[in-house]
């Protein structure tokens, strides 16, 4: 894994923004905004081409200071005939820190309102995809921090206009190579256009080989020519937007609630069916849960997913003022000396910004916790605790005109009738009907025939509630084989046990004893005087998948009665996109979150709705494949 190397804010001798790494300037000396409007907006016939469209997708090859994005966003805002939703995807191998971005933007006061909002949403400088919802969600900026030359293959989108910007072909040849331009071919929508400031012969040849008809046009200011072109292939629309935006979501836990929220924010009318008396009473019913990523030195798939999910959850929580949560920080202590060394090496290898991840030695960990501990460990300054039930309630209440929550509703079976899905009660009554259905009912999903094959199992977890008045103050979340959370409503949450094939719904004193034993390993001597038989808590059943990753996407069509055999080899090692699995039309699922419902729910909801809408995806293709429910039906070779 290559470390992300941020850009430095530099200027050359004549005051132009400059990169010593590439020995090149960021924009024309004759005026950056004017160049953006002439070359990229004008070269792609914008704003005319997005007018009257439901959505329009732009992909840019070098974000830099975000000048092209700011000019595009402003032009979109100023156009009364603009498309309903604007997507802007941009790569940046060396992103600027937020303070440098703010400093650079002072040169363009015309973009002050857009710049301020961009800076407020600017992500942590970590590798991967970062999705920013701007302008009340109508403008979506997907920033990809990494090398565009390699990451172009990770993108899933139908692009209407390409802004080929970046340092010159002589300074950065990989960004203009025939290989890279072929990557544009895969992403191009019907009648896609392209524009760039360079007219280098090798660039023209690469674009023409990639099925773009290009021509020279009048350049900007002192530059004689620029290039503009159109995709010549007349391929059909591969990502059509749904015409009928009505959906049913089964389950009002954190998976179902965030999915309903995301659907409603995209303009859908959503009926949420919940078997309990209120949302968030099942596996989402705990007093609180831990919110943190899970780093690894090699930045594996689980680490990338939890980091992306963690950042997406933070963005969602900022939009839900009634959600109860605290970014108090999380100390994740090492199990032993060897594990502590591994944790330290992973922090050094990843080199993430300190607001994302740090390492505390034993002394620093003791000071942070206010309690003696045996080892140091990871420090997540922005992590903390979240009350999942409050997130469920806040998300479902965010769009009262679009979300219809129906509790105490028992769905017995699902039926496909013509072009709609029906949720049917035990007496045969049709409870709800819509062209789209999303299963988010946790462990109950496999009761339905269409999901009987799903390799999901229930893991029993019991948490313990410690009286805050009789225990020492802990101001941060602490974790090591168990977690303890700062006082909330007079209690400190301690948990949780994890057992499989255990269906006991009542609390057990033995499980409280196990939680206290793990607390002893975490914070020695913290609760030695507490009698486990006096404790109360909560039992929940988490929906788990065999590989501990979520199962999110369109549901494969498996014949009723046909139960596939799953093994350790059914891990989706082959790309799902290469396999034409039959799917139930209009049937989707968000399942298998396990104990990571808090950290995954916002991201998985965004991914699901983006796939349903045919919009650019918020994750790399390999991660989308890794969590597709059909992965267990494909055997590795």
> Looking at the structure, do residues 269 and 158 belong to the same domain, yes or no?
no
Does 181 lie in the same domain as 270? Answer: no
pLDDT exceeds cutoff 80 at 475: yes
Give the residue numbers spanning the domain of 620. 246-282+389-456+546-633
DSSP-derived letter for residue 246 is E
Is residue 146 one of the residues assigned to a domain? Answer: yes
**How many Å apart are CA 578 and CA 636, to the nearest integer?**
12
Residues 6+ apart with CB under 8 A from 369: 331, 474, 476, 478, 523
Q: Are residues 207 and 264 in the same domain?
A: no
- Whether 179 and 250 map to the same domain: the answer is no
Q: Is residue 276 part of a domain?
A: yes
344 within some domain: no
- Predicted local distance difference test score (pLDDT) of residue 454: 93
Same-domain pairing of 164 and 196:
yes
Per the domain annotation, does 109 fall within a domain? yes
Contact 314, 380 (CB under 8 A): no
Q: DSSP of 526-592, one letter per residue?
A: TTTT--GGG-EEEEEEEEE-TTSS-EEEEEE---TT------TT-S--S-GGGS---EEEEEEEEE-
- Phi, psi at 237, each rounded to 5°: -70, 110
Does 91 lie in the same domain as 47? yes
Domain final residue pick, 168, 203, 231 = 231
Is 80 exceeded by the pLDDT of residue 369? Answer: yes
Band of the pLDDT at 186, cuts 50, 70, 90? very high
Whether the pLDDT of residue 559 is over 50: the answer is yes
Q: What is the pLDDT of residue 637?
A: 37
Assess contact for 89 and 59: CB atoms under 8 A: yes
Residue 227 sits in the same domain as residue 268: no
pLDDT > 70 fraction of the chain, expressed in percent and rounded: 93
- The yes-or-no verdict on residue 74 having pLDDT over 70 is yes
Q: Which residues contact 428 (CB under 8 A, 6 or more apart)?
A: none
Q: What residues are paired with 434 via a beta bridge?
A: 421
Residue 132 lies in a domain: yes
User: What is the C-alpha separation between 564 and 453, in angstroms, rounded?
Assistant: 7
- Give the angle subtended at the CA of 78 by the CAs of 75 and 80, to the nearest 5°: 120
Mean pLDDT for 407-420 is 95
User: How much is the pLDDT for 528?
Assistant: 87
The yes-or-no verdict on residue 467 having pLDDT over 60 is yes
Does the pLDDT of residue 603 top 70, yes or no? yes
Q: Is the pLDDT of residue 563 over 80?
A: no
List, for residues 491-550, the tens digit of each pLDDT value: 999 989 999 989 999 999 999 999 999 999 999 999 988 999 999 999 999 999 999 999
The CATH number that applies at residue 169 is 3.40.50.150
Distance CA 575, CA 637 (A): 11
Q: How far apart are CA 249 and CA 506, in angstroms?
A: 28
Q: What is d(CA 228, CA 44) in angstroms, rounded to the nearest whole number?
A: 7
pLDDT value for 307: 97
Q: Over the stretch 290-333, which tens digit does the pLDDT of each residue have?
A: 999 999 999 999 999 999 999 999 999 999 999 999 999 999 99
Instruction: Give bridge partners of residue 315 from the DSSP assignment.
Output: none
What's the confidence (pLDDT) of residue 169?
A: 80
What pLDDT is stored for residue 503 in this prediction? 92
Whether 353 is covered by a domain: the verdict is no
10 Å Cβ neighbour count for 324? 19
pLDDT at 565: 55
Give the tens place of pLDDT for each residue, 247-301.
999 999 999 999 999 999 999 999 999 999 999 998 888 999 999 999 999 999 9
Contacts of 366 (CB under 8 A, 6+ apart): 372, 373
Contact 108, 117 (CB under 8 A): no
| Mean pLDDT score across all residues of the chain | 92
d(CA 2, CA 19): 20
* Structure confidence at residue 21 (pLDDT): 67
Same domain, 131 and 276: no
Q: Domain check: are 396 and 276 in the same one?
A: yes
Listing DSSP states for 317-373 in one string gives HHH-TTS-EE---EEEE-SSHHHHHHHHHHHHHH---TTT-EEE-HHHHHHHHTS--
CA dihedral defined by 433, 320, 589, 300, rounded to 10 degrees?
170
User: What does R_g of the chain's alpha carbons equal in angstroms?
Assistant: 26
Q: Could you tell me the two tokens for 68?
A: 């092209």
For residue 630, the Cα-to-chain-centroid distance in whole angstroms is 20
For the stretch 81-94, pLDDT in tens is 999 999 999 999 99
Nearest to 635 by CA among 570, 576, 578: 570
How many domains in the chain?
2
Q: What is the pLDDT of residue 570?
A: 46
Rounded average pLDDT over 565-594: 74
Sort strands 85-92 and 55-60 into parallel, antiparallel or unpaired: parallel
Smallest Cα–Cα separation from 623: which of 297, 304, 344? Answer: 304
Pair 79, 202 in one domain: yes
Tell me phi and psi for residue 260, to 5 degrees: -60, -40
Say if residue 164 is in the same domain as residue 251.
no
- Structural domain contains residue 207: yes
d(CA 618, CA 280): 26
The pLDDT assigned to 621 comes to 96
Secondary structure element (H or E) that encloses residue 99, with its range: helix 98-105
pLDDT in tens, 199-242: 999 999 999 999 999 999 999 877 889 999 999 988 888 788 89
Q: What is the mean pLDDT of residues 553-578?
A: 64
Structural domain contains residue 451: yes
143 contact partners, CB below 8 Å, separation of at least 6? 63, 90, 92, 95, 123, 129, 130, 131, 132
Integer Cα distance of 109 and 107 in angstroms: 6
Closest C-alpha to 318, from 606, 85, 120: 120
Output the domain CATH number for residue 451.
Answer: 3.50.50.60
Pair (171, 131) in one structural domain = yes
Q: What would the pLDDT profile of 108-163 be if each residue is shown by its tens digit? A: 999 999 999 999 999 999 999 999 999 999 999 999 999 999 999 999 999 999 99
Give the β-pairing of 430-434 and 269-273. unpaired
**Nearest to residue 134, comparing CAs of 113, 151, 107, 149?**
113
- Residues 6 or more apart in contact with residue 84 via CB below 8 angstroms: 53, 54, 55, 138, 267
Q: Are 285 and 429 in contact (CB under 8 A)?
A: no
Task: Please state the length of the chain.
Answer: 637
Six-digit token pair at 531? 């009698």
Q: Please, which pLDDT band fits residue 12 given cuts at 50, 70 and 90?
A: low
Locate tokens 């396999």: which residue?
579
Q: Given CA atoms 394, 400, 403, 408 in this order, what sign does their dihedral have?
A: positive
């Amino acid at each position: 894994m290559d470390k992300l190397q941020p850009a430095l804010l530099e200027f050359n001798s004549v005051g132009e923004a400059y990169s010593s790494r590439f020995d090149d300037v960021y924009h024309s000396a004759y005026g950056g905004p004017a160049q953006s409007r002439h070359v990229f907006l004008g070269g792609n016939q914008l704003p005319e081409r997005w007018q009257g469209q439901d959505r329009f997708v732009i992909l840019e090859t070098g974000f830099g200071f975000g000048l092209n994005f700011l000019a595009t966003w402003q032009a979109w805002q100023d156009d009364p005939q603009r498309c309903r939703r604007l997507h802007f995807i941009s790569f940046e191998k060396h992103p600027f820190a937020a303070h440098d971005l703010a400093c650079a933007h002072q040169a363009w006061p015309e973009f002050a309102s857009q710049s301020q909002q961009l800076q407020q949403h600017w992500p942590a400088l970590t590798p991967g995809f970062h999705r920013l919802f701007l302008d009340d969600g109508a403008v979506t900026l997907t920033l990809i921090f990494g090398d565009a030359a390699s990451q172009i293959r990770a993108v899933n989108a139908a692009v209407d206009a390409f802004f080929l910007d970046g340092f010159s072909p002589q300074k950065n040849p990989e960004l203009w190579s025939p290989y890279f331009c072929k990557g544009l071919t895969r992403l191009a929508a019907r009648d896609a256009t392209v524009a760039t400031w360079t007219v280098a012969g090798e660039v023209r040849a690469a674009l023409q080989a990639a099925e773009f008809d290009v021509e020279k046009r009048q350049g900007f200011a002192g530059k004689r020519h620029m290039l503009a072109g159109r995709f010549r292939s007349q391929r059909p629309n591969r990502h059509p937007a749904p015409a009928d935006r009505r959906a049913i979501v089964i389950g009002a836990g954190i998976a179902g609630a965030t999915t309903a929220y995301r659907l409603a924010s995209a303009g859908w009318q959503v009926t949420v069916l919940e078997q309990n008396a209120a949302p968030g009473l099942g596996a989402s019913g705990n007093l609180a849960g831990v919110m943190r990523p899970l780093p690894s030195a090699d930045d594996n798939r689980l680490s990338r997913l939890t980091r992306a999910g963690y950042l997406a959850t933070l963005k969602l929580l900022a939009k839900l003022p009634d959600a109860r949560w605290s970014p108090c920080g999380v100390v994740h202590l090492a199990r032993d000396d060897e594990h502590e060394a591994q944790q330290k090496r992973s922090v050094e290898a990843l080199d993430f910004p300190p607001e994302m991840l740090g390492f505390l030695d034993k002394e620093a960990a003791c000071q942070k916790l206010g309690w003696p501990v045996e080892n140091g460990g990871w420090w997540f300054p922005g992590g903390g605790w979240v009350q999942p039930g409050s997130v469920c309630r806040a998300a479902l209440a965010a769009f009262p005109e679009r979300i219809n929550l129906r509790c105490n509703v028992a769905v017995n079976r699902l039926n496909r009738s013509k072009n709609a899905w029906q949720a049917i009660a035990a007496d045969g009554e049709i409870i709800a009907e819509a062209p789209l259905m999303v299963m988010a009912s946790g462990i109950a999903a496999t009761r339905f025939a269409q999901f009987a094959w799903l390799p999901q199992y229930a893991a029993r977890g019991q948490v313990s509630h410690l009286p805050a008045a009789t225990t020492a103050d802990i101001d941060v979340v602490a974790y090591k084989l168990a977690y303890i959370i700062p006082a909330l409503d007079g209690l400190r949450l301690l948990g949780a046990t994890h057992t499989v094939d255990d269906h006991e719904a009542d609390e057990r004193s033995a499980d409280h004893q196990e939680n206290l034993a793990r607390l002893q390993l975490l914070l020695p001597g913290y609760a030695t005087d507490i009698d486990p038989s006096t404790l109360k808590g909560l039992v929940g059943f988490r929906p788990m998948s065999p590989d501990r990753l979520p199962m999110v996407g369109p549901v494969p069509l498996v014949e009723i009665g046909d139960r596939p055999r799953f093994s350790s080899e059914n891990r989706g090692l082959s790309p799902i996109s290469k396999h034409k699995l039959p799917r139930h039309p209009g049937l989707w699922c968000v399942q298998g979150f396990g104990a990571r419902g808090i950290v995954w729910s916002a991201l998985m909801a965004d991914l699901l709705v983006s796939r349903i809408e045919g919009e650019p995806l918020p994750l790399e293709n390999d991660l989308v494949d890794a969590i597709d429910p059909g992965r267990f039906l494909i055997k590795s070779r």
